[in-house]
Amino acid sequence: MSVDEVKRRDKLGSVIAFARRSLPELRRDAETIEPVDAPRPRRMLQLLKPLRWTRLIRTEEDVHPRRAGAGLIRGFGIFVLLPTALAGFYLFVLASDQYVVEARFAVRGEVLPLGEVKVGEFASVIQKNNSQDTYIVAEYIRSKPMLESAQQTLDVKTMFMRHEADFWARYSGKAPIEELLKYWRKQVQASIDLISGIITLKVTAFTPQDALAIANHIVARSENLINGISERAQEDMLRHSREEVQKAGERLTRAHLALKEFRNRWGIIDPAKSAEATYMTLIDLRKEKIKLENDLQVLRSSSLDEKSRSIQALVANVAAIDQQMKHLQQTLTNDAMAVDTPNAAQALLEYERLVIERTVAERLNESAVGMYERARIAASKQSIYLATFVPPAAPQYAALPQRPESLFVIFFCLLVTWGSATLLVEGVKDHNI
């Protein structure tokens, strides 16, 4: 055997040995590969099944353009056209007409700003026109008391369950008042314009008469609410003014009684004038004393006997004047005085305190009386009232449902949703290739 034959036999033997070693691995890899099934019509639930990790390849039949286009058309018809057709059937065949009554009114009078509202150059206008009473009216329209009043007067539950209404739009007739309140807030809407403070009321019903009756009832009840708030504020203002007048009058009466008791106790009508008169008398006595002392000095200088009648008379007059001056000074300033001798300083101090109290009481009484008069005049006028400048009127045509617009919105939303879902699914499939 030649050397070449030996080499070829050795190569063949090594290839066979390599194949024998690799055969189990190839067999094991082949067992993990799952063959791809033939393309079948995909259903919606099959598209949502999770991808199997053993599916490694896709055949050319799976990605055929013609079959992919047919799948897209089928999905578009199922998820877009069919729901749109059902919605159109409901809107144009089953949906009942709904009539909308609109009214506009505003709360007029002494309005107060709710606070700082930053809306650029319109901030001052908003602070001037927006009132808490406006928000009270808007919330009252949507409240349970308004619904109960309308139910008691108009029986709105029967209005919302008329046979003209379709199954989707009518009230379901559930017993709890809370369910009817939810439906009421959907049919009755009140919005506030932040700039002007105008309340816009929109009432939706299945007949023009029902919508008009509900709107008129809401406007009337809102006006009663505003009138009640105004009357309550006026009554509170008058009551407070009367109480202040009564308190001021009682204080003034006490001041006058205190002055009367002082005059009876001291026996003095006006201590200031009495003290002034006493002081003037004291000045006159001092002048008289000075004159008598001069005369006495003249007589003594003329060498008259000290026991002469003239000198004794002058000495007696001077002593009497001294006694009178001492008594007058004691009545003015001396604290240690007799019970029946009033002290002018103490009397004047007490009298000034009583006069100040009387003056303050008179000023307070005048102010309280003036405030009461102003409150009475203000109460005679309606400070807050409801101005309805667009009254409710019976509608001539049904404003709802807006069939073409609603159908277009439904079609657009379904198209966007279906397109997004399709792109997402195809992206996952392409990532699996």
DSSP-derived secondary structure for 136-158: HHHHHHTSHHHHHHHHHHH-HHH
pLDDT of amino acid 201 = 94
pLDDT reported for residue 202: 93
User: What is the token pair recorded at 359?
Assistant: 């003056």
User: What is the pTM for the complete model shown?
Assistant: 0.55
Per-residue pLDDT in tens (0 to 9) along the chain, 433 residues: 565 665 667 666 676 776 666 656 555 554 444 444 444 545 444 544 444 433 434 444 444 556 667 778 888 888 888 988 888 888 888 778 889 999 999 888 754 443 444 444 444 444 444 468 888 999 999 999 999 999 999 989 888 888 877 878 888 877 788 889 999 999 999 999 888 889 999 999 988 999 999 999 999 999 999 888 888 877 887 888 888 888 988 998 998 898 888 888 877 777 776 767 777 877 877 888 888 778 777 777 777 677 777 777 877 887 887 777 777 766 666 554 444 455 667 777 888 888 888 889 899 989 888 888 888 877 776 567 788 888 998 888 777 778 888 888 999 998 999 888 888 887 877 766 5
Which residues, other chains included, contact 193 with Cβ-Cβ below 8 Å and sequence gap of 6+?
199, 200
Q: Where are the domains of the chain?
A: 94-111+119-243+381-402, 267-379
Q: Could you give the CA distance from residue 340 to residue 193 in angstroms, rounded to a whole number?
A: 81
Dihedral over Cα of 223, 226, 231, 232: its sign: positive
Please give the backbone phi and psi of residue 57, each rounded to the nearest 5 degrees, phi first: -135, 160
Q: What is the C-alpha to C-alpha distance for residues 362 and 129, in angstroms, rounded to an integer?
A: 40
Q: Could you please state the CATH topology (level 3) that the domain comprising 94-111+119-243+381-402 is classified under.
A: Bacterial polysaccharide co-polymerase-like (3.30.1890)
d(CA 375, CA 368): 10
As a whole number of angstroms, the distance between CA 56 and CA 36 comes to: 9
Residue 345: helix, strand or coil by DSSP?
A: helix
Contact 129, 120 (CB under 8 A): no
pLDDT at 222: 92
pLDDT at 332: 63
Instruction: Provide the 3-class DSSP secondary structure of residue 266.
Output: helix
d(CA 337, CA 347): 13
Q: Residue 401, preceding bond cis, omega within 30 degrees?
A: yes
Distance CA 207, CA 13 (A): 99
Q: Is 216 left (phi over 0), alpha (psi -120 to 50) or beta?
A: alpha
The pLDDT value recorded for residue 66 is 61
* pLDDT number for residue 142: 92
How confident is the model over 85-117, as pLDDT tens digits? 888 888 888 778 889 999 999 888 754 443 444
Q: Distance between CA 138 and CA 361 in Å, rounded?
A: 46
Backbone phi, psi, residue 34, to 5°: -95, 125
Residue 138, CB-side half-sphere exposure with 13 Å CA sphere: 20
Q: What is the pLDDT of residue 344?
A: 67
